[in-house]
Amino acid sequence: MSSVETTSRAALLRAYDQHRAKQWLLISAGLVAVLVTALISTGLGVQSIGPLRTLRALLSPVLPEQWRTDIGPTQIAILYNLRLPRAIMAIIGGAALSLSGVALQGITRNPLVSPYTLGITPAASFGAAIAVVLGAASMPGGRYMMVATAFIAAMVCATGVLSISSMRGVTSVMLILCGIALTFLFSALTDTIRFIATEQELAIIVQWTFGSLNGITWEEVGISAAILVAVFPVLRAHAWALNAFAAGGDDVAASLGFAVGRTRIIVTLAAVLAAAGIVSFTGVILFLGLVAPHIARMLIGGDHRTLIPFAAIVGALILLVADMIGRLAFAPIIIPVGIVVSYLGVPIFLHLLLSRRRELLS
């Protein structure tokens, strides 16, 4: 190897190392931003508490007595039982929905795919509506009945999507079109239930479809966290496969030795599980699974080894900020987080459509 080639190779390696260092620096900065935002969010409420005081209140069980004399047991109870579960659920929910979007966009090689466009979110809405008209609102543990039926309906939709994707000769475009068909189907089913529901039942269904973090409990946080912990390593392990799919579709992935059918099923199942598990607790949150992956991709690039963790961070940050805006904009009235995310997501979605119109029309 000549000295020129050696020098060029060394320069490329240095540039690559610098690029990777910048990526991980961005991920670290994102984590810090999420933690700071969560701390601020936890302190917001009817009686707002400053970030430093909130931190002392959260750490009160391990702090000396003289460091927490100005913090009463009522404030600590409010933080631990009401505000902290809400903030943590925003982190988990935003991360899971963003991961779902990243995985689905990568495996289908389509920038407009999200849990909604594949019918997962409308299916969950239909399941929750079924539970409401069956009297879940007036039953003990009715909230969990709504969660269970929403999750089952979402997984039924996922089974249909996976069955279609496993058929021989099914392309990513066909999978997306089938998802859109399922979206319209479950939306029509939900509208039918709304039509026959009583006024009280209709109000509950509509409120659930807004998407909200109100009333989140530690049990729900624990279940959602378990889903995220199960899904993240699966998607991270398939980062190279997602790179291959995103770069050239099924043909490139197959030529590089990846099992196209099996990989698509595993990744799609993980993405669906992440979306269904979160939406079952929070209700419908549109656009987050669509826009958060694109924001992350613009900032850190398309390498799924770093895109996957950073997209989770971006999704968590967006949902935290959206929840804060919903709580502050018309206080003491709380705007459901699903509505706020839609307000934030629509401009980004339109920008995406306009900036990629040639690609989408080709």
CATH code for the domain of 164:
1.10.3470.10
Is residue 158 within 8 Å of 269, Cβ to Cβ? yes
> By three-state DSSP, how is residue 228 classified?
helix
| DSSP H stretches of helix in 283-356 | 288-300, 304-328, 337-355
In a domain, 22, yes or no: no
List the domain range (segments joined by +) for residue 335: 94-361
In a domain, 16, yes or no: no
> By three-state DSSP, how is residue 333 classified?
strand
| pLDDT of the residue at 317 | 94
Is residue 161 within 8 Å of 272, Cβ to Cβ? yes
Q: Using alpha carbons only, give the angle 87, 34, 313 rounded to the nearest 5 degrees.
A: 105
In a domain, 88, yes or no: no
Q: Which two tokens stand for residue 317?
A: 């940050």
| pLDDT of the residue at 49 | 79
Q: Which two tokens stand for residue 154?
A: 């979402």
In a domain, 82, yes or no: no
In a domain, 322, yes or no: yes
Instruction: Give buried/exposed letters for 287-321 (b at 16+ CB in 10 A, else e).
Output: bbbbbbbbbbbeebbebbebbbbbbbbbbbbbbbb
| pLDDT of the residue at 109 | 81
In a domain, 8, yes or no: no
| pLDDT of the residue at 36 | 92
Q: Using alpha carbons only, give the angle 151, 153, 154 rounded to the nearest 5 degrees.
A: 65
Q: Using alpha carbons only, give the angle 270, 22, 296 rounded to the nearest 5 degrees.
A: 40
In a domain, 83, yes or no: no
Backbone region of residue 45 per phi and psi (left: phi > 0; alpha: psi in -120 to 50; beta: other values): left
Model-level pTM greater than 0.85? yes
In a domain, 57, yes or no: no
List, for the chain, all residue ranges whose pLDDT scores fall below the cut of 50: 360-361
Number of folded domains that form the chain = 1
> What values do phi and psi take at 330, rounded to 5?
-125, 35
Is residue 129 within 8 Å of 190, Cβ to Cβ? yes
Closest Cα partner for 274 from 40, 137, 104?
104
Is residue 124 within 8 Å of 279, Cβ to Cβ? yes
Q: What is the DSSP letter of 301?
A: -
Q: Using alpha carbons only, give the angle 360, 304, 7 rounded to the nearest 5 degrees.
A: 105
